[in-house]
A and B are shown apart, each in its own frame.
Chain A
Amino acid sequence: MTIYQEIILDHYRSPRNFGILKKPSRQVAVANPLCGDKLEFTVKEEKGVVKKIAFQGEGCAISIAAASLTTEHALGKSKEKLQNLDKNLILKLLGINLSPNRVKCALLAWEGLKKVVSD
């Protein structure tokens, strides 16, 4: 079965929350030097809740789709909840079974989100 399901391709072709927020509460960059993937996250929070979040960068379809889905998931959630986000949730959002080699592509966004909502 192909991992390039409609949901992945949709978020890869038209990533949600793509870009960079002006005057963010926090800004972090994460990278996977082995693949050359780089993602940058910006967030605006109010009272411990994510009001706006954005990402930009380059990567494979899986890492871009994962970042898009992750930011969608994070909107409106409390930082505290997101700090403890289970990495399996990202894999569940993607809706596919990834080989161990590709799991790291999906989890770059998870790493970025955890860092950008950290205290």
Chain B
Amino acid sequence: MDKIATIKKDFPIFARHPNLTYLDSAATSLKPLSVVNKIQEYYQEYSANIHRGIYQISEKATQEYEETRQVVTSFINAESEKEIVYTRSATEGLNLVATSLGSSIVGAGDEIVITIMEHHSNFVPWQQLAKKAQAKLKIIGVTPEGYLDLELDNIKYTNHISKIVNNKTKILAITYVSNVLGTINPIKEIIAQAKKINPKIIVVVDGAQAVPHMPVDVQDLGADFLVFSGHKMLGPTGIGILWGKQELFEKMPPYQYGGDMIKEVAIENTIYQDAPWKFEAGTPHIAGVIGLKEAIRYLQKIGMHKIHKREQKLLADALKRLQEEFGDNITVLGPQKSQDRAGVMAFRLADFHPHDIAQILDESHIAIRAGHHCAMPLHTYLKFSASARASFYIYNNDADIEKLITGLKKAEKTLTK
């Protein structure tokens, strides 16, 4: 049988909550038993510290910990495992780049470019860096259809990229997939054209909503940095990945100082480890790193192409069914063409408050998000105070869409004045 058809069985939460319709994977994903078991394996069988123990269980822990770097390397097609830094989260990866690299290359009068659809994690670090460095923060807008307002060779919008990126642009930080609009940005084309205008520009890609859902090849993208988080892709919380080009990592100063990131410490001076270890001060989240490896293996067994294809089909079905049932009463934010977007659906139903919608859905054990989804600038831009958001992952199916519709009908009945 198709593995995906029986996938819910792999997720123990559905045994505990058989009626749960989980539609909040853009916030965090559920965990398969194999990941939970792998984390437990570390704590039960070799819960030693890494890199320094001259004994077997420490060596086992180190080997399991470092092996994740190889698995991540092949998962995103990095050149070497030296390009893989373990962080606490995607957010920490962005802060690391903004602090370590950003503050050394951005000066007064320079420019940083971001987009209005960024999550706060890819917005605030650059806003603050720009303030500190007295640099200019430029923001790419969004069209009414939910696409970046950026004209590229084959895409016609009002602002040509050459009006935004110039020789003063030090950093372009951009999300691959919007966590509200679902838009899959044409990252490869944007990077190619930005680098054509300014070959020295550093491009930082927020892959938090992309890497869990579709194949991502960092060499093909042409970016300089990519961040993503483990917990959105079946892995544990508290572990993220920062991928970066090795030559950039070598030039960057450490982000934090302490144990495990040094080669030698004298009273006057310290020699740091090479990258990636110089960015991993202190005892890391060892179980998290090991659990993430298992999560990636689980995804690889299904195949990222298949995951992406299936989610797009689910999304197309959902958009169609919502339209059929609610017509003009529902507004789904972002591109209406399902092939241009990921399985994240932020919506407004009539003039009902998203919190009321989420609360009424919860009465039927349907979990969605309500609020601004850590994207306040985008909601302000779209003149929406908040939206409701349903998002999909591999364990969702058409039955979940029907449950969502039944739940929304109930909300409509309750909240209509």
Q: Give the interface of A toward B (CB within 8 A).
A: 2-4, 9, 12-13, 34-37, 58-62, 102, 105
Give the Cβ gap from A97 to chain B, nearest Cβ, in Å.
13
Nearest residue (CB) in A for B414 is A4
Which of B79-87, B303-311, B331-339, B351-359 touches A? B351-359
Which A residues are CB-close (under 8 A) to B359?
Answer: 3-4, 102
The reply to whether B353 and A61 contact each other, CB–CB distance below 8 Å, is yes
Binary A-proximity of B359-390 (CB < 8 A = 1, otherwise 0): 11001000000011000000100001110000
Q: Does B417 contact A (CB under 8 A)?
A: yes
Known contacts A2-B363, A4-B414, A13-B417: A34-B356 contact under CB 8 Å: no
Q: Does B7 contact A (CB under 8 A)?
A: no
Query: A37, A61, A62, A105 — which one has the most chain B CB atoms within 10 A of its CB?
Result: A61
The reply to whether B363 and A61 contact each other, CB–CB distance below 8 Å, is no
Give the Cβ gap from B357 to chain A, nearest Cβ, in Å.
9
Interface size class of B (residues with CB under 8 A): 10 to 19
The reply to whether A35 and B363 contact each other, CB–CB distance below 8 Å, is no
Q: Does B330 contact A (CB under 8 A)?
A: no
Ranked nearest first, the 10 interchain pairs of A and B with the lowest CB-CB distance are A36-B385, A60-B353, A60-B355, A13-B417, A36-B386, A61-B356, A60-B356, A4-B414, A2-B363, A35-B386
Q: Does B415 contact A (CB under 8 A)?
A: yes
Which A residues are CB-close (under 8 A) to B386?
Answer: 35-36
Q: Which of A2, A9, A12, A35 contacts B355 (CB 8 A)?
A: A35
| Bound CA span A102–B370, Å | 12
The reply to whether A35 and B414 contact each other, CB–CB distance below 8 Å, is no
Query: B356, B372, B415 — which one has the most chain A CB atoms within 10 A of its CB?
Result: B356
Binary A-proximity of B65-97 (CB < 8 A = 1, otherwise 0): 000000000000000000000000000000000
Q: Give the interface of B toward A (CB within 8 A).
A: 353, 355-356, 359-360, 363, 371-372, 379, 384-386, 414-415, 417
| Bound CA span A58–B385, Å | 10
| Bound CA span A30–B415, Å | 24
Which B residues are CB-close (under 8 A) to A102?
Answer: 355, 359
Which A residues are CB-close (under 8 A) to B353?
Answer: 35, 37, 58-61
The 24 sampled A-B contact pairs (Cβ below 8 Å) are: A2-B363, A2-B414, A4-B356, A4-B359, A4-B360, A9-B414, A13-B417, A34-B371, A34-B372, A35-B355, A35-B371, A35-B385, A35-B386, A36-B372, A36-B385, A36-B386, A58-B353, A58-B385, A59-B353, A61-B353, A61-B356, A61-B415, A62-B356, A105-B355
Which B residues are CB-close (under 8 A) to A4?
Answer: 356, 359-360, 414
| Bound CA span A13–B416, Å | 8
Query: B353, B372, B414 — which one has the most chain A CB atoms within 10 A of its CB?
Result: B353
Which B residues are CB-close (under 8 A) to A58?
Answer: 353, 385
Nearest residue (CB) in B for A60 is B353
Which B residues are CB-close (under 8 A) to A9?
Answer: 414
Which B residues are CB-close (under 8 A) to A59?
Answer: 353
Which A residues are CB-close (under 8 A) to B356?
Answer: 4, 60-62
